[in-house]
Structure 1
Amino acid sequence: MIRPDAGLRVYLCREPVDMRKQIDGLALLVQEAMELNPFEEAVFVFGNRQRDKVKILFWERNGFVVWYKRLEKERFKWPARLDGDTLSLSGQELNWLLDGYDISAMQPHKALNFQSVG
């Protein structure tokens, strides 16, 4: 299975998207609604109203790629609406979302930054 690298930038469109949209329509959504550059080194994630389908758009060197996943049962646990219509995720969080985890409920340990030992 193809999955994004943990360090990849991921932008999630919080609003439901018509899954009939293809590459051009999704790229236009990235540019106009999300106000992002569809050609940057990132993936753009879209879900439908029922939250049982996801499309991921990304630019790969010389053309766009769309990755599509449809669930037979269950639903994706889409993050709750906060500020704005776009949410930035890590590649790991996207993998968790695709696996069915509620990423808004998952909190990692805080990062510690020490300057010396003892």
Structure 2
Amino acid sequence: MKMFVEPPGIYLHKEPVDFRKSINGLSVIVEEHMRLSAFSGALFVFCNRQRDKIKVLYWDQTGFCLWYKRLEKDTFKWPKQMRGEVLTLSERQWSWLLEGLDIERMKGHQPLQFSSTY
């Protein structure tokens, strides 16, 4: 998925949320549970208990935006090994999550750092 904004960060909330919550309720979760600023411009990603829906909250300098996706047949592979309330994602991991891939199992080559060529 191409990003519709250039977010300074992408944060997943660990636990499922009540999807009756909208902008006000989700922004309270961001501020109180995730301990982040809802006005940062970052994407805050939430899922429902069945893991077939996600909501994304973000601030675009003029107001809050709320993006919603419902899967018709499958579920999102929500990370299970999260430490704490929040998981920070790269844009690549965010794309993987939207495509239905398990981001916990997607591992690339380990970066290497050398100080000399000999």
Q: TM-score, normalised by structure 2?
A: 0.89
- SS of residue matched to 1:32: helix
Q: Distance in 1 between matches of 2:48 and 2:19?
A: 6
- Contact 2:78 2:102 (8 Å CA) reproduced: yes
Paired residue type of 1:38: A
Per the alignment, residue 103 of structure 1 pairs with 103
- Contact 2:7 2:43 (8 Å CA) reproduced: no
Paired residues for 1:77-92 under 5 Å: 77-92=77-92
Q: Distance in 1 between matches of 2:87 and 2:50?
A: 19
Paired residue type of 2:112: L
Q: TM-score, normalised by structure 1?
A: 0.89
Aligned length: 118
The structure-2 alpha-carbon separation of the partners of 1:8 and 1:101, relative to structure 1 and needing over 3 Å to count, comes to farther
Per the alignment, residue 68 of structure 2 pairs with 68
- List structure 1 runs of 4+ shifted beyond 2 angstroms: 1-8, 112-118
The structure-2 alpha-carbon separation of the partners of 1:114 and 1:41, relative to structure 1 and needing over 3 Å to count, comes to farther
The structure-2 alpha-carbon separation of the partners of 1:6 and 1:93, relative to structure 1 and needing over 3 Å to count, comes to farther
In the TM superposition, residue 6 of structure 1 has moved relative to its aligned partner by: 8.4
Paired residue type of 2:70: R
Q: Distance in 1 between matches of 2:36 and 2:4?
A: 19
RMSD: 2.0
The structure-2 alpha-carbon separation of the partners of 1:112 and 1:44, relative to structure 1 and needing over 3 Å to count, comes to same
Q: Distance in 2 between matches of 1:54 and 1:90?
A: 17
Q: Which runs of 5+ in 2 are unaligned?
A: none
Q: Which runs of 5+ in 1 are unaligned?
A: none
The structure-2 alpha-carbon separation of the partners of 1:5 and 1:113, relative to structure 1 and needing over 3 Å to count, comes to farther
